Structure 1
Amino acid sequence: MFSIIGLILSLGLIMLLAYKGYSTIITAPIVALLTLIVTTGFDSHLMANYTEVYMSGFANFVKSYFPLFMTGALFAILMEKANYAKSISHFITEKLGKNKAILSIVLSGALLTYGGVSLFVVAFITYPIARTLFKEADIPKRLIPGCIALGSFTFTMTAAPGSPEIQNVIPMKYFGTDAFAAPLIGIIASLLMLGLGMFYLTNQAKKAKLNGEGYGNHTEKESNEISIEKLPNIFISVLPILIIFASNLFFSKIYYALVDGTYLENFNTTLSNVSGTWSVIISIVIADLFLVITNYKKIKNLK
């Protein structure tokens, strides 16, 4: 029990330091060392626990998920540089209109994160659009973070079947599943998160309107937004997302189901432990290659 409390406190401290702007790469090992001192004391094999337990776990995490982080980061950058992400966001908001400003931002973030774009990139892409929509609809600006979070940080990150986000990928290794595991539960959980989140946000907007609270007076720096006319076609913009979904489904459910994975015994693992992660990595790489091939002239500073 004491070790669990120490773990919770250490995670809280890491989050606090990250919020204050300190690098997690530096703070995480320091907090881990402090946690070991508090929970085990100086005479309980401190350095052995630090180097052989903590650092071994850290190294295994990097080994398993660095390719996913790297390919996913490339995908997010390429989607941004090709203006595909902006095209998707503008299309959704244009079709739904300012009267559905909250739903527009939520769905924009959801589609982008479900397609594999990093949720942090999505936040920066959707914010300028949300700012304009909320100002036109006279909805309090303070609700923008909640809309972005609901669309990007909730159901598409953790529950929606087939999501390539890292939070959905990590459990695969331990449960021997793929990204599409438990689809019915995932869909129900996603609908609950979306429904309850939308109920809360729309209710807050209605309360603000009744209290006479509008967008507010804010000094805002104008961003260099690309004109809507120059944005790529929406069908081309969603192709990389469809490529990831279709490829992931193919490799997860068809290709690796037919592969003989007995050779993996030589690597001390099984096909069920790695096929889910491999499927996501391969799918994102295919989408990355598609983006590079179709946009190599547009992306001037590719390296």
Structure 2
Amino acid sequence: MGLIGILVGLAVLIFLAFRGSSILILAPIAGLIAAAFSGEPLLASWTQTFMRNAADFVAQFFPLFLLGALFGKLMEDSGSVTSIANFMTQKLGAQRAILAVVLAGAIVTYGGVSLFVAFFVLAPMGVALFRSSGVPRRLMPAAIALGTSTFTMSAMPGTPSIQNAIPMPFFGTTPFAAPGLGIIASLVMLGFGMWWLKLRENAARAKGEGFGALIAAPDESAELAADDPLVRERATTAGSFDPSEIHSSDEATRQPPILLAALPIIVVIVVNLLMSFAILPRMDTSFLATDQWGNSSLSAVGGVWSVIVALTAAIIAVIAINFRSVPELRATMTAGANASVLPILSVASLVGFGAIVASLPAFMEVRNWVLSIQGGPLVSLAVATNILAALTGSASGGLTIALDALGPTYMKIAAEIGMDPALMHRVAVIGSGTLDSLPHNGAVVTLLSVCGVTHKEGYLDIVMAAVVGALIALMVVIGLGTLVGSF
């Protein structure tokens, strides 16, 4: 009965979330359904298991959600994201419309800008660029997804994405875990995605398809998507930015020069690198082992600290550069802060649901099944993160649930067989960013809405660019990691 309860709870969560119900309500309900089937005390399951684990997630990762949303909103309202996108357009030209959109998205998201901020800036640019070059509009969501939601989210070493931060406390790693494997995975994702999109573009040109009808002004679809409650409910479980705050403040009328626009992104990368390998390792952090500081260690908090300092430095940089040009700095800061609240609570609720499930006696069957998967611990870890990300429609939620339940077990296995935890970090993150892009995923729903494209028109290309390419990269990383270890 316990296993049936877990499946029923998941079914309720998936079905009602897809229909637009709030995950803040659904997650505890689904968790209590699973607990009821196992005969567990319901109130204790909610207050002692669900809430404590959700609160732990908020305590650990809210600084990253807050700073990431603030930075993204400042980069948007200062015109810096638009400046970078326009620069890529000018340099690559209309004849390379797809590549321009992909690279513009990759640059801003690798620099720490929320993928949802990138969606709302890149979509109007993509409409103009695709239209002038005659590339079908239906390919635009896949091009944006390839640049914003694949290798810069899960594979590029040092990426400040929340997905790359989540394994660090579990494995004692840094944002630069397994850098060589991450770069190889990034090249596989980018190469496969570009090959597919170019193939589709050439096929469309051969049929004389063209861009298609301009069904709305370039900004209109984005405006409508930002105000759509259904988009908001789904989006906030898939990212660190609430789309409803996109239009809560005004954007600068004039964009900064490209060097100044890109400088905060460079700050994120450089400061993250320095904190991870030069500053924190030289600090005396023995005080962390005391009761006052939670009996912790640098390996448990160092990765998160690196990203916090990097984003803080970048926020200071973007304010200093654009202090006079941002129309309403206070409104921009408020919108950025507000944009982080619903996403962190939504993902924390998914974590709370996962904690209830993991506490049930029946979950031992699931755990034993995962660990018994043939191919070794890397394969079973990849399967676990894939399945949970797919079921929850959230890479961050699925990844946290998997590591909460199985992280200590995998660390024990790694110690026994001499495996570098950095390898497990990279496999887990890439695994979380594959099957999360199913039709009910909030990022997919938001992206299609922003681009004015239906699932029927654009979803197949998203699958190929964001799912298949990531799965191939995951298999390459597992294969290389098994043969030669982490590098």
Scaled by the length of structure 2, what TM-score is found?
0.58
Q: Classify 1:19/1:299 alpha carbon distance in 2 versus 1 (closer, same or farther; 3 Å).
A: farther
Q: Classify 1:244/1:218 alpha carbon distance in 2 versus 1 (closer, same or farther; 3 Å).
A: same
| Structure 2 counterpart SS, 1:242 | helix
Equivalent in the alignment of 1:242? 266
2:79 and 2:254 in contact (8 A); partners too:
no
1:245-264 equivalent positions in 2, closer than 5 A:
245-264=269-288
Q: Which runs of 5 or more structure 1 residues have no equivalent in the other structure? A: none
User: Is it true that 1:175 corresponds to 2:171 in the alignment?
Assistant: yes
User: Is it true that 1:212 corresponds to 2:239 in the alignment?
Assistant: no
Work out the CA distance in 2 between the residues paired with 1:161 and 1:4: 40
Q: Classify 1:78/1:51 alpha carbon distance in 2 versus 1 (closer, same or farther; 3 Å).
A: same
Equivalent in the alignment of 2:312? 285
Instruction: Please report how far the alpha carbon of residue 29 of structure 1 lies from its aligned counterpart in structure 2 after TM superposition.
Output: 2.4
Equivalent in the alignment of 1:302? 329
1:56-95 equivalent positions in 2, closer than 5 A:
56-95=52-91
Structure 1 segments, 4+ long, off by >4 Å, are 1-5, 9-19
| Structure 1 counterpart SS, 2:81 | helix
Work out the CA distance in 2 between the residues paired with 1:3 and 1:261: 44
Q: Alignment partner for residue 46 of structure 2, among 50, 54, 70?
A: 50
Equivalent in the alignment of 1:124? 120
The code of the aligned residue for 1:102 comes to I
| Structure 2 counterpart SS, 1:160 | coil
Work out the CA distance in 2 between the residues paired with 1:302 and 1:230: 15
Q: Classify 1:148/1:65 alpha carbon distance in 2 versus 1 (closer, same or farther; 3 Å).
A: same
1:234-270: CA deviations, max 9, x gaps?
0001100011111111111011111122211122211
Equivalent in the alignment of 1:268? 295
Equivalent in the alignment of 2:36? 37
The code of the aligned residue for 1:273 comes to A
Work out the CA distance in 2 between the residues paired with 1:205 and 1:2: 50
Work out the CA distance in 2 between the residues paired with 1:125 and 1:107: 14
Equivalent in the alignment of 2:22? 23
Work out the CA distance in 1 between the residues paired with 2:123 and 2:41: 49
Q: Classify 1:90/1:59 alpha carbon distance in 2 versus 1 (closer, same or farther; 3 Å).
A: same
Work out the CA distance in 1 between the residues paired with 2:258 and 2:98: 21
Q: Classify 1:2/1:205 alpha carbon distance in 2 versus 1 (closer, same or farther; 3 Å).
A: farther
User: Is it true that 1:6 corresponds to 2:2 in the alignment?
Assistant: no
Instruction: Please report how far the alpha carbon of residue 54 of structure 1 lies from its aligned counterpart in structure 2 after TM superposition.
Output: 1.8
2:82 and 2:255 in contact (8 A); partners too:
yes
Bigger relative contact order, structure 1 or 2 (CA pairs below 8 A, ≥6 apart): 2
Equivalent in the alignment of 1:231? 255
Please tell me the root mean square deviation across aligned C-alpha atoms, in Å: 2.4
| Structure 2 counterpart SS, 1:139 | coil
1:159 and 1:186 in contact (8 A); partners too:
yes
1:82-161 equivalent positions in 2, closer than 5 A:
82-161=78-157
Instruction: Please report how far the alpha carbon of residue 188 of structure 1 lies from its aligned counterpart in structure 2 after TM superposition.
Output: 0.5
Deviates more, 1:135-144 or 1:108-117: 135-144
Q: Classify 1:15/1:155 alpha carbon distance in 2 versus 1 (closer, same or farther; 3 Å).
A: farther
Q: Classify 1:284/1:55 alpha carbon distance in 2 versus 1 (closer, same or farther; 3 Å).
A: same
| Structure 2 counterpart SS, 1:163 | coil
1:36 and 1:50 in contact (8 A); partners too:
no
Q: Classify 1:44/1:23 alpha carbon distance in 2 versus 1 (closer, same or farther; 3 Å).
A: closer
Q: Which runs of 5 or more structure 2 residues have no equivalent in the other structure? A: 221-249, 331-487
Q: Classify 1:17/1:235 alpha carbon distance in 2 versus 1 (closer, same or farther; 3 Å).
A: farther
Q: Classify 1:34/1:167 alpha carbon distance in 2 versus 1 (closer, same or farther; 3 Å).
A: same
Instruction: Please report how far the alpha carbon of residue 17 of structure 1 lies from its aligned counterpart in structure 2 after TM superposition.
Output: 4.4
The code of the aligned residue for 1:265 comes to A
Work out the CA distance in 2 between the residues paired with 1:148 and 1:53: 38
Work out the CA distance in 2 between the residues paired with 1:3 and 1:162: 39
Work out the CA distance in 2 between the residues paired with 1:126 and 1:90: 10
The code of the aligned residue for 1:193 comes to M
| Structure 2 counterpart SS, 1:276 | helix
Q: Classify 1:90/1:185 alpha carbon distance in 2 versus 1 (closer, same or farther; 3 Å).
A: same
| Structure 1 counterpart SS, 2:325 | coil
Q: Classify 1:149/1:17 alpha carbon distance in 2 versus 1 (closer, same or farther; 3 Å).
A: farther
Instruction: Please report how far the alpha carbon of residue 233 of structure 1 lies from its aligned counterpart in structure 2 after TM superposition.
Output: 0.6
1:158-197: CA deviations, max 9, x gaps?
1100100101111111111111111000001111111111
Work out the CA distance in 2 between the residues paired with 1:28 and 1:53: 13
| Structure 1 counterpart SS, 2:166 | helix
1:62-118: CA deviations, max 9, x gaps?
000001100110000100111000000110111011111111111110000000000
Instruction: Please report how far the alpha carbon of residue 5 of structure 1 lies from its aligned counterpart in structure 2 after TM superposition.
Output: 9.2
Q: Classify 1:196/1:174 alpha carbon distance in 2 versus 1 (closer, same or farther; 3 Å).
A: same
Instruction: Please report how far the alpha carbon of residue 36 of structure 1 lies from its aligned counterpart in structure 2 after TM superposition.
Output: 2.9
Work out the CA distance in 2 between the residues paired with 1:5 and 1:199: 43
| Structure 2 counterpart SS, 1:144 | helix
Q: Classify 1:3/1:162 alpha carbon distance in 2 versus 1 (closer, same or farther; 3 Å).
A: farther
Q: Classify 1:51/1:22 alpha carbon distance in 2 versus 1 (closer, same or farther; 3 Å).
A: same
Work out the CA distance in 2 between the residues paired with 1:71 and 1:4: 40
2:128 and 2:218 in contact (8 A); partners too:
no
Count of aligned positions: 297
Q: Classify 1:15/1:299 alpha carbon distance in 2 versus 1 (closer, same or farther; 3 Å).
A: farther
